[in-house]
Amino acid sequence: MERVPEIPRTCPTVGRRVGLWRQDFVSKTLANVTEAMRNAVFAEEYARRPGFLQSLDPRVKVVTFLALLLAVAFARNPAVLAALYLLTLALSAASRIPIGFFVKRVWLFVPIFAGVVALPAIFNFVTPGKPVFVLVSGVAITEQGLHGAGIFILRVATSVSVAVLLVLTTEWHRLLKALSSIGFPEIGVLVLGMTYRYIFLFLRAVESIFLARRSRTVGSTTLREKHEWLGASIGALLGKSYHMSNEVHLAMVSRGWSARLPDRGEFSTSVADWAWAALVLAIVILSLTVTPA
């Protein structure tokens, strides 16, 4: 009986099918778009929760958080930076934001960006000092390099935590109104507001494009065909955004747009706002006066 030859694992046909299955970016893109929109909706829900930071005057919150960012930027003591980071965790808990969600939102990007920047600083050819671990002859990790990289990563993590807290605990329109109230240029506030609003519109457009592609695709397509379709979709989305920006501007002008923000009500400060401002001032002074050991 003649034996049927087996298909080798390196068969080009089988390998191409497996590769195409692994490179199915349509489903992945749909999942990522949905996740981005879900996170944005959850962020708005956190801003409406009854918590400590949510109850503060947005103007006071913006000014005090800017002061905290300055304190983080100029602090030189690792213990001070660690204390400021612990303060952000305490504020997250007091504002009814889940610690796991908050930490994941911060540390998802810090190791990628800050870690890559700080990695070369740990070696002796960038930061000379006392060797801690010798990799090869002439290349070692120094104590001074680890100290500097640790401070850098801790500073970035604390700064990102402060910024994330401000966004999570303040509704977007109130944050824009607070920026306008403290002297931020109104044209910048308008650009931020329109950008935030139309990001969701284009996320919906991207979701519709990929969903239509997935529902109309029968059988397998090559990787080149997918790349060609992706390039055409990006071009179509770019053209759509350009025409929409012109149409929105003409519609605003025809309705009497005056380049001024609408009045959404005045803010009012309370004793809690002044107490928080005094506490932040004390923290900033303490952070700037404490020197490294």
pLDDT of residue 75: 87
Residue 280, domain extent: 30-287
Query: What Cα–Cα distance (Å) separates residue 34 from each residue in 29, 212, 281?
Result: 8, 15, 41
Let me know if residue 9 belongs to a domain: no
**Structure tokens given for 67:** 């002061």
Reading the chain (293 residues) residue by residue, the pLDDT tens digits are 444 444 344 444 444 443 443 446 556 665 665 565 556 555 677 888 888 998 999 999 999 999 999 999 888 888 899 999 999 999 999 999 888 888 887 887 776 777 777 788 888 887 788 887 887 777 888 888 888 888 888 898 899 899 989 988 888 888 888 888 888 887 788 788 777 777 777 777 777 777 777 777 777 777 777 777 778 887 888 888 888 878 877 887 888 776 666 555 567 888 989 999 999 999 999 888 877 65
Please give the tally of structural domains in the chain.
1
What backbone phi and psi angles, to 5 degrees, belong to 125? Answer: -75, -10
Q: Which residues pair with 136 in a beta bridge?
A: 139
Let me know if residue 35 belongs to a domain: yes
What backbone phi and psi angles, to 5 degrees, belong to 5? Answer: -65, 140
Query: What Cα–Cα distance (Å) separates residue 215 from each residue in 19, 23, 107, 228, 291?
Result: 21, 17, 36, 18, 62
Let me know if residue 11 belongs to a domain: no
- Which 3 state secondary structure label does DSSP give 134? strand
pLDDT of residue 111: 64
Let me know if residue 40 belongs to a domain: yes
What backbone phi and psi angles, to 5 degrees, belong to 181? Answer: -70, -30
Contact between 29 and 211 (Cβ < 8 Å): no
**Residue 148: HSE in the Cβ half-sphere, 13 Å Cα cutoff:** 17
Let me know if residue 103 belongs to a domain: yes
Smallest Cα–Cα separation from 261: which of 166, 200, 209, 190?
190
**Structure tokens given for 250:** 């003409």
Our CA angle for 168, 56, 198, nearest 5°, is 35
Let me know if residue 262 belongs to a domain: yes
Whole-angstrom distance, CA of residue 71 vs CA of residue 148? 18
User: Exposure string (b/e) for 116-133, b if CB count within 10 Å is 16 or more?
Assistant: eebeebbbbeebebeeee
Q: Which residues pair with 123 in a beta bridge?
A: 141
Whole-angstrom distance, CA of residue 92 vs CA of residue 165? 7
Let me know if residue 14 belongs to a domain: no
Q: What is the dihedral of CA 235, 241, 246, 251, to 10 degrees?
A: 150
- Which 3 state secondary structure label does DSSP give 219? coil
Which residues in 123-276 belong to E strands, given as ranges?
131-136, 139-142
Amino acid identity of 75?
A
| Long-range CB contacts for residues 177-180, cutoff 8 Å, separation at least 24 | 177/58, 177/261, 177/264, 177/267, 178/57, 178/58, 178/59, 178/61, 178/62, 178/267, 179/62, 180/261
**Structure tokens given for 223:** 């990787």
pLDDT of residue 275: 93
Let me know if residue 10 belongs to a domain: no
**Structure tokens given for 143:** 């104590």
